[in-house]
Amino acid sequence: MQDEDFVTIRLTVNGGTHRLVVEPRRLLADALREDLGLTGTNLGCEHGVCGSCTVLVDGQSVRSCLMFAVQANGHEVMTVEGLARGGELHPLQQAFWEKQGLQCGFCTPGFLMTAYELLQHNPNPSEEEIRSALSGNICRCTGYQQIIEAVQSASQAVAGASATVPSGTGA
């Protein structure tokens, strides 16, 4: 291939800026997994149906198997690797562990990112709202009850953590 067959893009992924040279047809999922080594983003169906490749672009969930990397140029991308901070699991990750909301774990990153977006917009969702938000994600192992319970538990943990932060701390 010739150099003109490639495009230089800049992505902010999980807070870090990356410059990549990619083919225009390169999928965001492939750029994340192969170019940046962020293998938490899984490719299941490669048709946007299963949700295992869900990441956030500028805070909105997208199927990274359907989005070209060049479409994310100049945008902020958050993957499942961006949830944990300072070695501490995010409350969603902790809740999935405690409530056994995963078995094989293949679909888990997509569920986590979808639930994270939900809790950003609605910190105290009802069970119906959780089910609706997660309806585009498929799990073939656990069934969904433990996943719903994990999101409910995480919403309580997040609400409890924000209630204990003194005002005026900037946190």
Q: Provide the domain limits for residue 65.
A: 3-82
| Domain match, 143 and 104 both | yes
Residues of the chain above pLDDT 90, percent: 81
Domain boundary among 26, 49, 82: 82
170 within some domain: no
Mean pLDDT, the chain, rounded, equals 91
Q: How open is the CA angle 3-65-158, to the nearest 5 degrees? A: 125
Asked if the model's pLDDT at residue 108 lies above 70, the reply is yes
Pick from 38, 53, 82: which residue ends a domain?
Answer: 82
Distance CA 115, CA 121 (A): 10
Same domain? For 97 and 135 the reply is: yes
Distance CA 23, CA 40 (A): 22
Q: Residue 137: what are its φ and ψ, rounded to 5°?
A: -110, 140
Residues 101 and 65 in one domain: no
* Listed range (7-11, 104-108, 140-144) with the worst mean pLDDT: 140-144
In tens, the pLDDT along 41-75 reads 999 988 989 999 999 999 999 999 999 999 999 99
pLDDT in tens, 119-157: 999 999 999 999 999 999 999 887 799 999 999 999 998
The predicted pLDDT at position 167 comes to: 46
Based on the number of CB atoms within 10 Å of its own CB, is 43 exposed (0-12), middle (13-18) or buried (19 or more)? middle
Within-domain flag for 73: yes
The beta-strand segments (E) located in the chain are 7-13, 16-22, 54-57, 60-63, 76-78
pLDDT value of residue 170: 43
User: How many domains are there within the chain?
Assistant: 2
| Cα separations in angstroms, 70 against 12, 19, 23, 37, 82 | 13, 11, 8, 18, 21
Is the pLDDT reported for residue 39 higher than 70? Answer: yes
pLDDT tier at 27, thresholds 50, 70, 90: very high
